[in-house]
Structure 1
Amino acid sequence: MITTLLRGQNKNFLFKDVKLINQIRFQSAYSGKNQYKQSRPALPTNTIIKFVPQQEAWILERMGKFHKILPPGLAIMVPVIDSIRYVKSLKETTVEIPAQSAITQDNVTLELDGVLYYKVIDPYKASYGISDSDFAVSQLAQTTMRAEIGQLTLDKTLSQRTQLNLNIVEAINVAAADWGIKCLRYEIRDIHPPDNVVASMHQMVSAERKKRAEILESEGARQSSINIAEGQKQSVILESEALKTKHLNQAAGEAGAIVLRAQATSQSIKEISDAISKAGLSGKDAVGLSVAEKYVDAFSLLAKKGNTVILPSNVGDISSMVSQSLAIFKGVSNTLDNGGEKK
């Protein structure tokens, strides 16, 4: 457009009127940058009687000065001096935030885009406090998002997206309080880290998974060793307890057998003593007879074993051996009797 204008005008005029050229360039650049500006609908004309739609606020000016805000329903205006200057929608409005670059606290450049939701809560401020609310809110959202991301590392930016959205909404509401606008929510749609950062993140994830697998494997081996050792320990304890019980039972059995043998011996000696007493002999003779039997049995056992022992000279004379054992018993008995009398 500027080239056509240059060709169609006189060169001397163009070089002199630099101000006009700059103005044309400025308007062209502004119209290209202002991609958020929506086409405004035609303002209602003054036909004396108008009907204001629901969820809309009409700003009525009288002789160029703000007069009042027309609510939904019937509105009667004075011809010529009244005019509808602004029409504000009270519905929730969606503004798409284009992709932009932001640098995190750890110097990682990210590409982010999002969606902003806001609504007009004060039509007067939204009409006279800001010229283009959509453009202003979108620019404010971009700068606020850059500022918030600059305070976070890459890991926190990826993990704390919800908190980041809340922080952006809070910051926008503080700045847009004079515009009669309230930001309802902000949603970050996509976060695109650089390719090298994505590759590094994949390597970190793989390394972390490998680390967890090794830890789980080592924990499993450790628990297996503990279980085996615990089993062996319990086995040894049970074996020792079984052996202890076995020995106790054997000792108890042997003790019982000794008691029974002693009782049987005592009973046999008693019966022999009773029999000898009936024959006119004393109980000592019965005990001596028992000792003699033991003496003979001991010599009979010696013959069954290959041991070298010292035997008496009359080993072949059983009667002599019995007499000798009885004599020994009588000597011991007399000694015990004499000792008892002295006492």
Structure 2
Amino acid sequence: MAGLGVCRGRLSGHRASITRCLRVNQLQTAEFSLSAARQLPKARTNTLINFVPQQQAWIVERFGKYLKTLQPGLNVLIPVVDQIKYVQSLKETVVDIPSQSAITEDNVTLHLDGVLYYRVIEPYHASYGVENAEYAVVQLAQTTMRSELGKIKLDSVFQERMNLNHMIVDAINYAAEAWGLRCLRYEIRDIQLPTKVKEAMQMQVEAERKKRANILESEGMRESAVNRAEGLRQSKILTSEAVRIEQVNQAKGEASAILARATARASALLTLGKALGAKHGSSAASLAVAEQYVQAFGKLAKTGNTLLLPEKTGDVGSMVAQAMAIYSQMTSRTVAGEEDGEDEEGETRDKLKQVTDEATKDLEEVLSQLSVSIEDLTSDRGSASPATPTQPHPPPHFTLADSPTNHRGPEISPPRDPTIV
């Protein structure tokens, strides 16, 4: 009560100083807002009328006991009785975690530092739960980071860096809940490795790069070889296909040509058979054979080749008679079977008769020329063998029997040899 009386006396006696106190409070608040959150004073002077800045909480004690937490804005406190014991910032605070050593699961010593972001959630617990909240959080972050690094290997430190940060945050929040703090995030800033470990890792990286380069080069060579082999295979296949198609087409062409020739030959033989089976057909055939024989015999003396001639070179009639005898035997049955159709083939017989007459005239001219050739050939043989007297052979005598009933061909009488008795 005595204290209240003193305060009332001061208020009544120093009304003029209230404005000055308010100005001092405002200046102190402005200075406080420019300072860092870690450097906030643990206590402030009670000036009766107090202005709490935004995002701050003032813990007020009365007679050494917690009274209340002042919110931002205008607050009136009783001087001397009420004391502003703690000032807590509700902003997010950044704390540097100093470098420390840690040993991984595979016994590699690392040096790490980081950055911690936290915020005061409960000003009361932050003031009365721990003596120095910031120091406690820093120590907790260091120990947690050292503990989590001991659970993983060196290779996993770089691969699981994000997971390591999350594990540290969860461990800090679990322990700092009683302090009224919340760790928002933790980031590992720098990882320092021993020199030998760095060299080994560099060699490993270089070896891995060389391995990948060799693998890529070998795969490229393999792909190139496969492509070349595939191209050669396709080329050979296409070439063989082209050759096969060419051979097939050539065979088809030859088969078509053979078939066409065979068809033409069959048609010619069929037509020739019908013509020979008609009237005067055999006579025309005999005439054709005789013409071919005479023409071939007439060409013997025109070349310088060595030839084997029969003994009787002028016996043309026997040669033709022998050929026509074979022909008569082959066509005798055909002629006998086709005599009944003579009326239907009248036109063919007339044409054959006309051809036969013309051929007969030509044959007579050829025979006359052949007689002269035979005389010359006989004289040459006589001069070649003077020991044996020879007499000139008379020219061969040819008779053409053009009887309508004679189908055996022309009758050719061979010349008589005067040396034969």
TM range (shorter): 0.7 to 0.9
Is the Cα–Cα contact under 8 Å of residues 42 and 86 in structure 2 kept in the other structure?
no
Q: Distance in 2 between matches of 1:197 and 1:96?
A: 26
Which residue type is aligned with residue 212 of structure 1? R
Change (3 A) 1:145 1:319: farther
- The TM-score, its normalising length taken from structure 1, stands at 0.73
Matched, 1:112 2:77: no
Q: Distance in 2 between matches of 1:169 and 1:105?
A: 21
Corresponding position of 2:226? 226
Q: Distance in 1 between matches of 2:314 and 2:245?
A: 48
Change (3 A) 1:325 1:252: farther
Corresponding position of 2:67? 67
Taking only the aligned residue pairs, the percentage that are identical comes to 53
Corresponding position of 1:142? 142
Q: Distance in 2 between matches of 1:261 and 1:209?
A: 76
Corresponding position of 2:123? 123
Deviation at 1:324, TM superposition (A): 4.7
Q: How does 1:83-94 map to 2 (within 5 A)?
A: 83-94=83-94
Deviation at 1:264, TM superposition (A): 2.0
Change (3 A) 1:224 1:80: same
Larger-gyration structure (1/2): 2
Change (3 A) 1:99 1:266: same
Deviation at 1:255, TM superposition (A): 1.1
The count of aligned residue pairs is 287
Change (3 A) 1:270 1:50: same
User: Could you give the per-residue CA deviations for residues 144-163 of structure 1, whole angstroms, max 9, x where no partner exists?
Assistant: 00000000101111222111
Q: Distance in 1 between matches of 2:315 and 2:62?
A: 163
Which residue type is aligned with residue 87 of structure 2? V
Structure 1 alignment gaps of length 5 or more: 1-36, 300-310, 338-343
Q: Distance in 2 between matches of 1:98 and 1:336?
A: 131
Q: Distance in 1 between matches of 2:182 and 2:107?
A: 32
Change (3 A) 1:314 1:223: farther
User: Could you give the per-residue CA deviations for residues 161-195 of structure 1, whole angstroms, max 9, x where no partner exists?
Assistant: 11111111111101111011000111111100100
Structure 1 vs Structure 2 CA RMSD? 3.5
Is the Cα–Cα contact under 8 Å of residues 169 and 183 in structure 1 kept in the other structure?
yes
Change (3 A) 1:256 1:70: same
Change (3 A) 1:38 1:92: closer
Change (3 A) 1:272 1:66: same
SS in 2 for 1:176: helix
Deviation at 1:273, TM superposition (A): 4.3
Deviation at 1:234, TM superposition (A): 1.1
Q: How does 1:297-336 map to 2 (within 5 A)?
A: 324=322, 327-328=325-326, 331=329
Q: How does 1:11-160 map to 2 (within 5 A)?
A: 38-41=38-41, 43-160=43-160
SS in 1 for 2:60: strand
Q: Distance in 2 between matches of 1:278 and 1:332?
A: 14
Which residue type is aligned with residue 111 of structure 1? H
